[in-house]
Amino acid sequence: MHQPRDFRQIPDTQEVYLSPTTGISIIVEVLESVSAQDLREAAGQHFDALAHDNDAKSQTVNETIDVNNDSNGATPNPVVLYGTQLVQKFNSQTADEVRILLALYRVPHKNVDLVMTMNVPMTSADGGAVSEDDWGSARGIFDEAARSLRIVDYGLFA
């Protein structure tokens, strides 16, 4: 059973969703566009920044793909990156293996990168790890979310 978590304050530019039964989380955040013009490279820069913020002991990009969404051009098509980071959380003695799914939506006229990230712990010192079957389900849910996310009000991006 997953242990209760301590909650931390998050910035106004983020929304965080937590699974009630596992350590899986989904984060949607509005960020200033990174310097890379190539979206695959930009997704990699966001993945690297996440690894830095997580104090990851190691990081690996497994795959980066272009995805066509279902919005008929109303929302930019995302680039999706799948990777792994070894993250030592808080005062844990061991590093957790966290699979990262990252979707990048570039909004050039607002100089914004909208980034949706799913963190899936495969090993976890706090008991929130999931099985390979759960990983497959999580990836399917993320892939559907990446294709179906809609930006309905571009005025939200100042």
The residue that leads in pLDDT, 18 or 3, is 18
Quickly count: other Cβ atoms within 10 Å of residue 22's Cβ. Answer: 18
In a domain, 137, yes or no: yes
In a domain, 65, yes or no: yes
Give pTM, 2 decimals: 0.90
Whether 94 contacts 125, CB under 8 Å: yes
At 51, list the tokens: 């690894």
In a domain, 26, yes or no: no
Domain encompassing residue 123: 57-149
In a domain, 21, yes or no: no
In a domain, 12, yes or no: no
Q: For the chain, what is the domain count?
A: 1
pLDDT band of residue 40 (cuts 50, 70, 90) is very high
At 156, list the tokens: 């939200």
In a domain, 43, yes or no: no
At 153, list the tokens: 């009000």
Tens digits of residue pLDDT in 83-134: 999 998 777 788 999 999 999 999 999 999 999 999 999 998 878 899 999 9
Between the alpha carbon of residue 123 and those of residues 34, 93, 129, 147, the distances in Å are 31, 13, 5, 28
User: Which residues pair with residue 82 across a beta bridge?
Assistant: 63, 101
Q: Give the span between the Cα atoms of 61 and 101, in whole angstroms.
A: 10
20 torsion bin: left (phi>0), alpha (psi -120 to 50), beta (else): alpha
